Amino acid sequence: MKIIYKITYPNGKIYVGKDLTDSINYFGSASSDLIAKDFTRKERRDFTIRKEIIWESETAPDSEVNQKEVELIHELKSNVPEIGYNQWPKPK
């Protein structure tokens, strides 16, 4: 199963990513440094994130998954710094 997921952080910001293997333990490649800037040391001591599968396919080729990921990043605006942690693609 190939999936696109949305991760929501305690501050409400989101990250959208893809996983071509549907690994339950994969949480993407968002910038740790970027995320860390938004949380105090105390806030980092008890930190809960939510991972939601927002699209999935058993048959889509990787190219379709890649296209859908970009589409959902733009749709959810997770590449707008005030909303999310995706640094690519740049906002339209």
> How confident is the model over 37-88, as pLDDT tens digits?
999 999 999 999 999 999 999 999 999 999 999 999 999 999 999 999 999 9
CB 64 within 8 A of CB 3: no
Mean pLDDT, rounded, for 12-40: 96
Q: How far apart are CA 65 and CA 18, in angstroms?
A: 7
Mean pLDDT, rounded, for 9-16: 98
Residue 17 has pLDDT above 90, yes or no: yes
What pLDDT, on a 0 to 100 scale, did the predictor assign at position 92?
A: 76
What pLDDT, on a 0 to 100 scale, did the predictor assign at position 63?
A: 98
